[in-house]
Amino acid sequence: MSSSSHENSASNKRLLALCFGVIGVVYGDIGTSPLYAFREAFNEQHGVVVARENVLGVLSLIFWSLITVVSIKYATFILRADNKGQGGVMALMALAQRGVRRLRAKWIIMVIGLFGASLFFGDAVVTPAISVLSAVEGIEVLAPSLERYVVPVTVLILLAIFSIQKHGTSRVGPLFAPVTLVWFITLGTLGIMGITHEPAVLEALVPHHAVMFFVHNGKMGIFAMGAVVLSITGAEALYSDMGHFGKKPIRLVWFFVVLPCLMLNYLGQGALVLSDASTAENPFYRLVPEGLLIPMIVLATMATIVASQAVISGTFSMARQAVQLGYLPRMKILHTSNQEEGQIYLPTINRILLVLTIAVVIGFRSSENLVSAYGLAVVGTMLINTLLVVIVARRIWRWNYGRVVAVAIVFLGVDSLLMTSVIDKFIYGGWFPLALGVIVFTLMMTWRKGRELVMREIKRAGLALEPFIASISAHPPVRVTGTAVFLTANPDGVPNALLHNLKHNKVLHERNIILTVEVLDEPFAEAKDRISVAPLADGFYSISIRYGFAEDTNLPAALATVSDCGFPFDMMDTTFFISRESIIAGDRPGMVIWRDRLFEFLARNATSATAFFEIPGNRLIELGTQVEI
C-alpha cells in the first residue's frame, strides 16, 4: 500500500473519530428537543387545535426551520466565521471587532457580543432543567401516580450532574458518543414505526403546509411558532464547539445523522397524533411501545445528562474567555485532563449554575411550564450571532454591500419571525433567562469599566518609567542579587510594587523586569509574537507576554523561554512583585455609586494573581495599595 493510501486511511479514521465525538458533544441539546418541541405546539395556551392541517403545518414549520436556521445559517454560513478555528459568541465578537477601526464601533460590537454571551448563560441555566425534567416526566406516562416524584428525581439527577464536574468530562466522556448515537438511532427507528401507520404525514415536507398553517391560525399561528423554536435550540452549539472538532465533522454528522433522525421522529410523532388526537399530550413517549417504556425513560434521561454536560462545559469555556478578555474578574480555573486543554472546571460557575438550575426546577415544576422560559434567550442569542456575522462578512470577508444586505435580510427576517413568535412568552417565564442575562451583562460591563477607571487612577498617580530609571542611575540604591519581576498593566509607568519595595526595603535587585500581560482578540498567540523583550538601562528590562483568549496564563513557563535578556530565568532566584489594589468606592466621575460598590465587591472576591498566573506562592510578594474610583 502506498504512503498516500496510508495517509488517506489515517485521515479517514481521524475524521470518523471526530464525527463520533461530535455526536456526543455538539448535538446533545438539539437531540433532546423531540421530547417536548412538537408537543408544545398544541399547548392550550397557543389555542391551536389538534387537526390534520395544523399537525402537517407544525411539522412543515419544524422541517423548514431546521433547514433554514440550522442547515443553511449555522452549518453552511456561520461556521465560516471562525476566529483561527475557534467559534462561539465571544470569539465572533473579537473577530468582528478586528474588522473595525473606530472605537465607537468596537464598543457597540462589544456590547452586542457581551449581551449575546449573557443570554447564553441564561440558556445554560434553563437547558439542564428542561432537558432532565422532560425525560423524567416519562414516568407519568408509565404510572400517573408517580407524578409527585418527578421534581425530586430531577433535582437528584441535577445534583449528580454538577457534582461530577470537578472530575472532568474525561471520565464520563467516552460514554457520551455511544449514548447519543443510540439515542439518535432510537429516535429514527421510533419515527419510522410511526410513519408506517400514517404515511400521509410525509406531505408535511412540502412548504405549502407551513404557509397554510398561518392562513388557518392567523396571529395564534405566529405565537405557536414558539414551539417550533424549541426544535432548533442547541443550534448554536454547532458554532460554539467548532474549535474542538472542526467544520467538516460537524457538517457531516448534521446532514447524515442528526437531521434525518430528528425529522423521522417528528414525523413519527405527527403520524401518531394524526391517527389518535389524544396522544398530543405527550406524543414522544406515546410513540414508544409499552414494553420498552422503562428502557426509553432511562435512555432519555442519559441523553439529557449528555445534553446538560455539553452546555455546562460550554459555559465554563465562555466564562474563561470572558475572564481572559477582561470582562469578568479572575476565577479559579482547573484543568481536568492532561491531554485536552479545553477540558476545564470553574468551581464558582459550577456552584452558581447548580443553585439556579435547581431553583428553576422547583419554581416551574414541569417542562410544560418551563418551555415558556426557554425560547426567548435562544432566539436572542441567534439574532446576535446573525448581527455579528454580518459585520464579519462585510469587514473581514470583504463582501460587497449587495451580498451582505441580501444575506442580512434573509437571516434577520427569519430571526425576527422567531423572536415575534416567542415574545409573548415573556410574562410566562421568558423573563427569567432574560433577567439572568441582564444581570450577567451588568457584571461584565461593570468589571470592564471598573478596570478602566483603576488604570486611569494608577496612570494619574504614577511616575514615568524612563526618568525614574535615569534617577536610579544618578543615585543608585543598594543592589541585591537575583531577578525581580514586577507585574503591571502600564509598561510606561513605574509599578507601584517597585516604588513600595524601594521605599520600604531601600534595595533594588540586580535585574528588574517590568512585565506586562496582554490578551489578544485571537484564541491563540503566534509563537513568534508570544514574547517581546526591550532592554532599558541599568539592569531594567521591559517584557511583554501575549496570550490568546483560549490559553492559560502561565507566567513562569513563559519566562523560562526568554533568552533575550542575557541571563536565564532561575525560578529559585526570581521574585515576583505584584501590587494588589484595594478598591474604594468614591464619588469620582466614571460610574454611579452602586456600580462602584459592585466593582469593589467583585475585585475583593477575585482569585489572586498568584493562582491565576500560576506563580509559585513562595516566589511572590504582594504589596497592597488603595485606589479610589
SS in 3 state form for 63-119? HHHHHHHHHHHHHHHHHHCCECCECCHHHHHHHHHHCCCCHHHHHHHHHHHHHHHHH
Please tell me the distance from the alpha carbon of residue 530 to that of residue 525, in angstroms, as a whole number: 6
536 vs 570 pLDDT, higher one: 536
- The mean per-residue pLDDT over the stretch 100-116 comes to 92
**Which three cell numbers, joined as nine digits, stand for 155?**
433535582
User: Mind giving me the DSSP string for 321-380?
Assistant: HHHHTTSS-----EE--SS-TT-EE-HHHHHHHHHHHHHHHHHH-SHHHHGGGTHHHHHH
pLDDT of residue 313: 81
463 vs 170 pLDDT, higher one: 463
Q: Is the pLDDT of residue 7 over 70?
A: no
- The mean per-residue pLDDT over the stretch 455-463 comes to 80
Mean of all residue pLDDT scores within the chain: 87
pLDDT band at 543 (very low <50, low <70, confident <90, very high): very high
pLDDT of residue 118: 93
Residues of the chain with pLDDT > 70, as a percent, come to 95
pLDDT band at 47 (very low <50, low <70, confident <90, very high): low
Please tell me the distance from the alpha carbon of residue 504 to that of residue 453, in angstroms, as a whole number: 27
pLDDT tens track for 86-100:
888 888 999 999 988
507 phi, psi to nearest 5 deg: -140, 160
pLDDT of residue 557: 87
With beta carbons less than 8 A apart as the criterion, state whether 163 and 358 touch.
no
Q: How many residues make up the chain in this entry?
A: 629
CA angle, 301 then 305 then 310, to 5°: 150
- The mean per-residue pLDDT over the stretch 192-216 comes to 92
pLDDT of residue 2: 57
Give 494's Cβ-side CA count (13 Å radius): 19
pLDDT of residue 131: 85
pLDDT of residue 6: 60
pLDDT band at 182 (very low <50, low <70, confident <90, very high): very high
Q: Is the pLDDT of residue 396 over 80?
A: yes
- Strands (DSSP E) contained in 383-496 are 478-487
pLDDT of residue 341: 54
- The mean per-residue pLDDT over the stretch 145-165 comes to 88
21 vs 530 pLDDT, higher one: 530
Of the candidate CATH numbers 1.10.10, 1.20.1740, 1.10.3470, 1.20.1270, the domain formed by 3-429 belongs to 1.20.1740
Please tell me the distance from the alpha carbon of residue 13 to that of residue 6, in angstroms, as a whole number: 11
With beta carbons less than 8 A apart as the criterion, state whether 93 and 108 touch.
no
pLDDT of residue 406: 94
pLDDT of residue 5: 64
Q: Is the pLDDT of residue 386 over 70?
A: yes
Q: Is the pLDDT of residue 173 over 80?
A: no
- The mean per-residue pLDDT over the stretch 499-503 comes to 84
**Which three cell numbers, joined as nine digits, stand for 312?**
455546562
Q: Is the pLDDT of residue 199 over 90?
A: yes
C-alpha distance across the termini of the chain, in Å? 70
Burial 259-297 (b: 16+ CB within 10 A, else e): bebbbbbbbbbbbbbbeeeebbbbbbbbbbeeeebeebb
Q: Is the pLDDT of residue 562 over 80?
A: yes
Q: Is the pLDDT of residue 230 over 80?
A: yes
pLDDT band at 226 (very low <50, low <70, confident <90, very high): confident
Parse the chain into domains and list their residue ranges. 3-429, 460-628
Q: Is the pLDDT of residue 342 over 60?
A: no
Predicted model pTM:
0.85
Q: Is 606 helix (H, G, I), strand (E, B) or coil?
A: coil
With beta carbons less than 8 A apart as the criterion, state whether 372 and 430 touch.
yes
pLDDT of residue 345: 85
pLDDT of residue 340: 54
Please tell me the distance from the alpha carbon of residue 68 to that of residue 262, in angstroms, as a whole number: 15
